[in-house]
Chains A and B, each alone.
Chain A
Amino acid sequence: MQYEAVIGLEIHVQIKTRTKMFTAAPYEYGAAPNTLTDAVVLGLPGTLPVLNHTAIEKCAKLGLMLGCEIAEVCKWDRKNYFYPDSPKNYQLTQNEEPLCIGGKVEIELPGPSRNVEGEHRWVALNRIHLEEDPGKLTHEAFETVIDFNRAGVPLAEIVTEPDMSSSTEAVAFLNCLRNMIVYAGISDCDMEKGQMRCDANVSLRPVGSDKLGTRTEMKNLNSISNVKAAIEYEIERQTEILEEGGSITQETRRWDVESGTSFSLRSKEEAHDYRYFPDPDLMPVQMDRARVAELEAELPERPLDKQRRYQEELGLPFTITSVLCVDRELSEFFEEALKTHNAPKQIANYITNDLLRELSAVSEHGESAHSVGQSKLTPAHIATLAKIIDEGVISKQIGKEVFTEMFATGEMPDAIVEKKGLKQSNDTGEIEALCREAIAGNAKAVGQYKDGNEKALNALKGPVMKATKGKANPAMLDQLLKKLIDEGE
């Protein structure tokens, strides 16, 4: 029998706020252990949680970005469990009435090669709820140590429908999701810092069946490559069991990065029973519809919408839009440059080739400046450079030299051209003399040209370019050489 996989993901994303979900204790990654707590974080007797309005609005914005419906009213419940990552033995979460309902995310699958755009499809979401992060446990040889800095950080849990069928789709989903969340400024989604974490639910069913099989849940997937490896391992494991006539046990499994395998944590017999009940300390939230509309209006254009627009309206190829659109800062830099000089292709080329190359070279040298915002270049630099090339003031060749110079110094390209005397030479007299010399010095190339080989002209252009240090206008040079050879006949 042929089986197909059904995959659903649960993604936890730390919402970027200065303070925690239910108290004003601050949070930042990498602080010394247990320096970011207060009475509410530690769940001391007599303390009361108070909702963080900023976190609620950011979570609503996340929901809007992902096409969710924002609930009229939402509320918080207690999820009771005993585990040392929770100081108060329950987690405040939204079980019954989450803030964001439904939703869908457009994903782009990999194409047949890097340069070719892949298929797009939509992945349905079930909900997004807003809860608190637990503390961080570090398991040592014989003991576990606890740092509560992370406890209480606003955490959005994005739950998809079982709507994916391969590890490739899951990876595409996570990449597209991350791009959107970073775009909207809701989280930096740095998986290494725990800002985005993923659990994967996997089940198999006979191809064509519409009934879901027994699923397992994979925990501890803290990088996109782990998600991919864990899903592939689980599909293989379940396929083997089913092919041997066995059945799948509903269980939670932990992915072990080092061995590249997963092992069972707890089975259905001891399934979760969290005894959820509404938290009596927190009042429900009623989302003001006018405010929701305002939040929606603040959303940035979604990366894949932008990619479509750049392709359709600006005529840019996928090889460029795929680089330009995943980075909001880069695409805004690009659009700003267009305001100075409306030449999308040239400007996009400068940004995605020259600028990114120089930026990565800087990063490789261990210096900190590696993002567009940190470089000395402004959109006006790139736009001006493209403009003076289009106007024939300098050649493309000289443009490269100017680019390197302006990247290093931050000087405007026209100033560099002026200072270094790089203006393209349109002095026909001087160039004509050089052309005559070149024609006289290379009878072979002239002969080839006359026999119809246009390329032979390049052999004549070389010396002229060299003599003018690249400043001769190539188009003019071309015409002049042809004219002189024709006249010489």
Chain B
Amino acid sequence: MSETPHIDIDYVANLARLDMTDAEKAKLGTQLDDILGYFDKLNAVDVDGVEPMAHAHRVFNVWREGDQPGETYAPEVLTKMAPESRDNQVVVPKVVE
């Protein structure tokens, strides 16, 4: 391989909405670079003439027919899991995209 793969830890942490200390960034950044380096071995494999695939098995058309409604949860199943809820809705700090 020509270059050691590198991951921009600040960028990735921001995408994942993770707040990290500089020490964590240094540690995890190195570990992630190692992981990428490991996957980079795949680039050494000659895949000319191999068709790209989405899955290990060539299985298609796994679906549900008939459009028949199934069971639903009571709202409490959801609201019990949420830190805060009101009138059967989950409440979060105000977010406007």
| Chain A interface (Cβ < 8 Å from any Cβ of B) | 17-19, 23-26, 32-39, 42, 50-56, 73, 75, 80, 82-84, 137-148, 219, 254, 265, 273, 275, 278, 280, 282-286
Contact = CB atoms under 8 A, between A and B. Distances in A.
Contact of A35 (B54, B75, B92): B75
A18 B62 contact: no
Contacts of B16: 82
The 7 closest A-B pairs by CB, nearest first: A24-B70, A26-B69, A34-B75, A51-B63, A54-B67, A145-B89, A53-B63
B95 to A, nearest CB: 5
Nearest to A274: B15
Given A38-B73, A145-B89, A84 B60 contact: no
A50 B95 contact: no
B82 to A, nearest CB: 8
B68 A19 contact: yes
Given A139-B96, A273-B15, A285 B63 contact: yes
A53 B65 contact: yes
Given A32-B88, A38-B72, A254-B97, 20 more contacts: A18-B67, A18-B69, A33-B75, A42-B73, A42-B77, A51-B64, A52-B64, A53-B66, A54-B67, A84-B92, A141-B94, A144-B91, A145-B91, A146-B92, A273-B15, A278-B55, A282-B62, A283-B60, A284-B54, A286-B61
A276 B88 CA distance: 32
B41 interface: no
B71 interface: yes
Given A34-B78, A283-B61, A284-B55, A142 B94 contact: yes
B46 interface: no
A52 B59 CA distance: 16
Is the contact region of chain B dominated by helix, strand, or loop, or is it mixed? loop
Contacts of B66: 53-54
Contacts of B55: 278, 280, 283-284
Nearest to A285: B61
Contacts of B27: none
B64 to A, nearest CB: 5
A52 B17 contact: no
A37 B88 CA distance: 12
Contacts of A137: 95
Contacts of B67: 17-19, 52-55
Contacts of A83: 95, 97
A50 B72 contact: no
Nearest to B89: A145
24 contacts: A18-B68, A19-B68, A23-B70, A24-B71, A25-B71, A33-B88, A34-B73, A35-B75, A37-B72, A38-B72, A42-B73, A50-B63, A51-B62, A52-B67, A83-B97, A137-B95, A141-B94, A143-B92, A143-B94, A144-B93, A144-B96, A148-B90, A273-B15, A278-B55
Contacts of A36: 72
Contacts of A51: 62-64
A144 B92 contact: yes
B63 to A, nearest CB: 4
A34 B77 CA distance: 9
Nearest to A282: B62
A285 B71 CA distance: 26
B94 A275 contact: no
Nearest to B56: A280
A56 B66 CA distance: 12
